[in-house]
Amino acid sequence: MSDFDLKKLEAIIAERGRSGDAQSWTARLFNAGTPKAAQKMGEEAVEAVIAAVSGDREGLISESADLLYHWLVVLALADVKVDEVMAKLESRTGQSGVAEKASRPHQ
């Protein structure tokens, strides 16, 4: 099993985004800004949905990777850390999760 994880990709994105390398897709997204990065994230999400609904397992894996990459770029541009998202998810587990869930509408 791979030991690659979202925090490693987060670090790569932070470094590549600031690189100024014209060949870097991450740098191009950083330069383009949040609207472009968020648009790409949305496109990849839709492609992942299509793969899931059509039963395309390999497609779902590939589109999920694209989605997570673009999601991390959007987070980086908003100065939000993966750890903050994980803390939010953790707060929804166990007893604290019950309290958080009760405070959220539509759940």
Per-residue binding string, ligand PRT, 36-75, x by CB under 6 A, is ------------------------------x--x------
We find the least distance from the C-beta atom of residue 25 to ligand PRT, in angstroms, to be 4
- Nearest alpha-carbon partner for 37 in 27, 50, 46, 47: 27
Angle at 51 between CA 35 and CA 42, to 5 degrees: 10
Residue 26, interface with ligand PRT (CB under 6 A)?
Answer: yes
Separation CA 107–CA 105 (nearest Å): 6
**Helix pair angle (57-77, 34-53), 10° resolution:** 160
We find the least distance from the C-beta atom of residue 95 to ligand PRT, in angstroms, to be 36
Residue 10, interface with ligand PRT (CB under 6 A)?
Answer: no
Q: Which stretch binds ligand PRT (CB under 6 A): 23-31, 51-59, 83-91, 98-106?
A: 23-31
